[in-house]
Every structure is written in C-alpha cells, then in structure tokens.
DNA sequence: AACTATTATAAACACTGTTCATTAAAATTA
DNA sequence: TAATTTTAATGAACAGTGTTTATAATAGTT
C-alpha cells in the first residue's frame, strides 16, 4: 500500500535530521557543549525521542565520525590529477593538513576522540574508513618506491611513520600546545613568534627529509 | 608564635592531599570518571572545600599536568650517560615512547588535553615545561648536526618534525585507532596482526630515515 | 570570656546522559 | 465506521556533573 514505505522514509529523515542538528551544534559549540537536550531542542523533539533513533550518544558521535571521514576522503580527491608519485604524496600531506585546520572539530572526531573508536570496538566492527584512507597513502608510497624513493624501506611501516608525522604536526597545533612554547618560535628570526608559520615551515622540513630519500 | 606557620603548613598539606587524591583517582579510573565529589570523598572533606584550595577543576588538572611533566623529564635523564649525539637522540625517542605507554593517562594530561593549556592561556603564562623538554630535543639535534647529521636543516623545524612523529606514533596508538586498522597489520607477514609490534617497528623505520640523513 | 577571622560544609543551581511508564497518534482488523 | 493493536513521542525521574553561597563550626586574638 505504500504507507509503510512513507513511514520508513520519514523515520530515516528524522534520523538524518538528528545527525544534521548534532553536526551543526558540534561545529558551532564543540563536542563538550553539545548535549542530547540541545540536539532535541534544535529538531523540536523531546530528548527521549533521540534514543528511539540512536542507541546512545556514542552512536551519534560515530555516525558523525563516518560523515567526517567521507569529507576527508573528498579532500583527498585532488591528488587524482597528479601524475608524479612524490608530488602526489606531497599533495596528500598538504590536503591532510588543510583539512585539519579547516575542520579542526571534524579532525578531532575522526582521529583524536576515543568514543567513535570505542563504538567500533563494541560492535566488533572494522575501521573501514581508516583502512581506506591509509590504503590511499600506502599506494602512493609504493608508487614513490617504484620511482626510486625510499629504497629498502618496508612500505607499511614507512606509511605509518608519514601519517604519524602529519598527525603529530596537526594535533600539537590544534590542541593549543604550540601557542605557549616560546623557544620553538621566538628564537627563530624567520618565524617571528608566529605559530601559524611554524607548521607549514615544519611541513617543508619534513618534505625535505623525504626528498633526500631518493636512492 | 609559630601558629601561623603551622596553619600555613597545614593548608599546603591539604592542597597536596587534594592533588594526590586526584592523581590516584585519575590514574585509577581516568579523567572522565574523576569528579570533584570523588576527590572530596577520598580526602574526607566536603566538595566545596576543594574550591578553597583550587579555583576550579582546570587548576587541579593543570597542577597534575605539571607533575606529569616532571615525571617525563625524569624519564629523559637516562640520556645523560650517552656520549654519541645520535644515540642520545635515539634514546630520547625510546624514553618518550616508553613513557607514553607506561603512563598513557599522564601522557594525555600533558600532550593531548586542552584544559591544562587553556589554564596556561588564561593566566597569560608560558609553557615552561614544554619549553624545557623541547630544548632538550633541540640541543640533541644540534649536537647531531655537529656530528654530521641533518646537514642544511634548520634545527628548530627539524626538532619539531621529530617530536611530531613521536607524538603521532604514540597518540594514534593510545587513542585506539590502530586497533581497528586491518590493512596496516594483517597484510604484513612479520607483524601478525599485532598492533603492539607495529609501533616499535615503525619507530625503527623512523630511526632508519634519520640515519640516512648523515652527510 | 568575648570577639574576630578563618575554615568547612549543607544545600542549592543548572546542567549532563539515560531510562521508563504513560500518553498520543497512526495503522490494522472486525 | 468502530474497536483494537501497533508504533511513536514524551514528561518525569534517576543518578550523576561542576560550581556557588549562605550558614555553621572552629581556631586565633584581644
């Protein structure tokens, strides 16, 4: 008769509305300040209704985590046009960094927060999003190796080191730790106490290191 | 009369007792589960009393942050006995990694959590602890340079890259993200799906990279 | 002993995530 | 169409959180 379908559609709409409201509040006020009650108020439903569509807050956070990852993968799409493997690797790093600074809250959601991963763990699931992104890096590193870079290195370990470096650069910045380090900035004439300059600067250092790894 | 001194001493004792109780609860049950009420119960005082000695929870967290950093610096003391700069750098990395795994909660307190840094920011303070640790790394890197390593590199940027890599390695592990990445572990014969092996393994890769940077 | 300054606390405020019995609405059956 | 069943939504409560404040108890001084 079709009424069941319409109902089902309405149910899925509401589930998405919850997620959209959560995402907006999240990017607006951060995770800490985003309560179930606030989400409920935004979609004009009772807080208890949320629990008819999501088991708990972690399930919402995990859904946002997945959405956030899709956005990251999307940011990576720029590298498809680049033929040179090493240039592709560099572009991947730049895209990663840019994403972390443009969407610090999403970055936290997908790479820092424990809750979404705990949700994956509880459901004995696998982290497909992470695998997908890591595979992209791995393939690029392997392509670089065929181009003469990183000879003698095992690609997975190397990929992981590269990811770690980028992750470290991004997190140390967004967590606010660098802002209060005087040594790292003040003493360098080129930097002028500006933290924002330290990161692209360090990224260039990192690229130089990798560049020297060509046979 | 001395009574004023005794009182002052008692006051400082209580302030330390609060911190000790907080530290114990923190390492026992984690930050999330450590409430002011729980701390108060442990020292057998009323929750409101805590606020006579610490302005708010962030001030307690910041005090723990400073204690934690002292512990890290202590872990670094092993490098004093090593003459070779590059071996010293390697030992520094190893000590850093070991600290992160032995005290994951303290690591989170000093390098991941935003709250202690927010406290530093509010008081227009500087992050002396961070500066101290970074300087130690910087001096080691500079010594390496005088030994023929990292020629042509600006030491601060390079030091920051090294720190970022170590930080990335440690945080990706303790946050639980690696546990659910199948690609990174399963496919490597040497690793046998074991995440615990991925890190020392990746660390060795990183050391190899640095090793190649001689002359 | 009386007064004052310090220290401690009970109670409340405004929140949080989550559960559950109850009610309202919609769909199905008689 | 009327009665019944299934589904969806909610108000209220539970147990917790950080924090503030007026009140009470204690200690020190005159």
What are the tens digits of pLDDT across the range A64-92? 999 999 999 999 999 999 999 999 999 99
Query: CB pairs below 8 Å between A and B: how many?
Result: 173
pLDDT category at B189 given cuts 50, 70, 90 is very low
* Contact check, Cβ <8 Å, B130/A172: no
Residues of B in contact with A120 (CB under 8 A): 180
Give me the A residues in range 46-105 that sit within 7 A (CB) of strand C.
Answer: 47-48, 51, 56-58
Using C1' positions and the CA of B53, the closest nucleotide is C7
Average pLDDT, chain B: 91
B33 touching A, CB under 8 A? Answer: no
Q: Residue B84 CA to chain centroid, in angstroms?
A: 25
Residues of A in contact with B205 (CB under 8 A): 153-154, 157-158, 160-161
Give me the B residues in range 9-38 that sit within 7 A (CB) of strand D.
Answer: 34-38
From the list A153, A179, A183, the residue facing B134 with the nearest CB is: A183
**Mean pLDDT, residues B105-110:** 95
Distance CA(A184)–CA(A190), nearest Å, equals 12
Q: Whose CA is closest to A83, among A143, A155, A171?
A: A143
Residue of B nearest to A130 (CA): B181
* Confidence at residue A159, expressed as pLDDT on a 0 to 100 scale: 96
pLDDT category at B1 given cuts 50, 70, 90 is very low
* Confidence at residue B43, expressed as pLDDT on a 0 to 100 scale: 97
Select from A69, A172, A191, A194 the residue whose CB has the most chain B CBs within 10 Å, as the one to mutate to test that interface: A172
* Confidence at residue B4, expressed as pLDDT on a 0 to 100 scale: 54
**Mean pLDDT, residues A21-37:** 93
Distance CA(A135)–CA(A138), nearest Å, equals 5
B18 CA, C8 C1': separation in Å?
15
Per-residue three-class SS string for chain B: CCHHHHHHHHHHHHHHHHHHHHHHHHHHHCCCCCCHHHHHHHCCCCHHHHHHHCCCHHHHHHHHHHHHHHHHHHHHHHHHHCCCHHHHHHHHHHHHHHHHHHCHHHHHHHHHCCHHHHHHHHCCCCCHHHHHHHHHHHHHHHHHHHCCECCCCCHHHHHHHHHHHHHHHHHHHHCCCHHHCCHHHHCCCCCCCCHHHHHHHHHHHHHHHHHCCEC
**Mean pLDDT, residues B74-98:** 97
Select from A149, A201, A202 the residue whose CB has the most chain B CBs within 10 Å, as the one to mutate to test that interface: A202
* Confidence at residue B124, expressed as pLDDT on a 0 to 100 scale: 83
* Contact check, Cβ <8 Å, A177/B127: yes
* Confidence at residue B33, expressed as pLDDT on a 0 to 100 scale: 87
* Confidence at residue B3, expressed as pLDDT on a 0 to 100 scale: 54
Q: Is B152 helix (H, G, I), strand (E, B) or coil?
A: coil
pLDDT tens, A158-195?
Answer: 999 999 999 999 999 999 898 888 876 555 545 555 77
**Mean pLDDT, residues A29-34:** 88
- A35 strand C contact, CB < 7 Å: yes
The whole model's pTM is what? 0.93
**Mean pLDDT, residues A105-116:** 95
* Confidence at residue A182, expressed as pLDDT on a 0 to 100 scale: 80
* Confidence at residue B22, expressed as pLDDT on a 0 to 100 scale: 98
Q: Whose CA is closest to A145, among A206, A89, A207, A195?
A: A89
Whether the per-residue pLDDT at A5 is higher than 80: the answer is no
| Cα distances (angstroms) measured from residue A157 to each of A91, A154, A183, B185 | 20, 6, 31, 10
The larger pLDDT score, comparing residue B212 to residue A31, is at B212
Convert A74-98 to b/e letters by CB count within 10 Å (16 or more is b): ebbeebeeeeebbebbbbbbbbbbe
Residues in chain B, overall count = 215
* Contact check, Cβ <8 Å, B157/A117: no
From the list A181, A191, A205, the residue facing B127 with the nearest CB is: A181
DSSP state of B103: -
pLDDT category at B175 given cuts 50, 70, 90 is very high
The alpha carbon of residue B26 is apart from the nearest alpha carbon of chain A, in Å, by: 17
Using C1' positions and the CA of B50, the closest nucleotide is C8
Q: Is the distance from CB of A23 to CB of A67 less than 8 angstroms?
A: yes
Whether the per-residue pLDDT at B2 is higher than 50: the answer is no
pLDDT tens, B129-140?
Answer: 899 999 999 999
A40 CA, C17 C1': separation in Å?
13
**Mean pLDDT, residues B175-181:** 89
Give me the A residues in range 50-109 that sit within 7 A (CB) of strand D.
Answer: 51-52
High-pLDDT (> 70) share of chain A, %: 92
Convert A145-175 to b/e letters by CB count within 10 Å (16 or more is b): beeebbeebbbbbbbbbbbbbbbbbbbbbbb
Whether the per-residue pLDDT at A1 is higher than 60: the answer is no
Average pLDDT, chain A: 91
Q: Is the distance from CB of A99 to CB of A91 less than 8 angstroms?
A: no
């Amino acid at each position: 008769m079709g009424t069941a379908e319409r109902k089902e559609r309405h149910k899925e709409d509401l589930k998405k509305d919850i997620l959209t409201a959560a995402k907006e509040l999240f990017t607006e006020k951060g995770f800490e300040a985003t309560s179930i009650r606030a989400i409920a108020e935004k979609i004009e439903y009772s807080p208890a209704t949320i629990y008819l569509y999501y088991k708990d807050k972690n399930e919402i956070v995990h859904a946002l985590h997945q959405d956030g990852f899709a956005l990251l993968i999307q940011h990576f799409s720029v590298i498809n046009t680049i033929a040179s493997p090493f240039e592709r690797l560099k572009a991947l790093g730049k895209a990663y960094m840019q994403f972390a600074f443009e969407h610090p809250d999403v970055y936290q959601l997908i790479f820092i927060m424990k809750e979404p991963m705990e949700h994956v763990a509880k459901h004995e699931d696998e982290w497909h999003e992470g695998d997908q992104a890591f595979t992209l890096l791995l393939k690029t590193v392997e392509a670089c190796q065929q181009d003469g870079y990183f000879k003698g290195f095992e690609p997975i370990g190397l990929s992981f080191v590269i990811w770690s470096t980028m992750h470290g650069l991004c997190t140390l910045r967004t967590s606010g730790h660098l802002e209060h380090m005087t040594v790292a900035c003040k003493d360098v004439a080129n930097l002028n106490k500006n933290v924002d300059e330290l990161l692209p600067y360090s990224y260039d250092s990192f690229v130089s290191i990798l560049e020297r790894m060509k046979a």
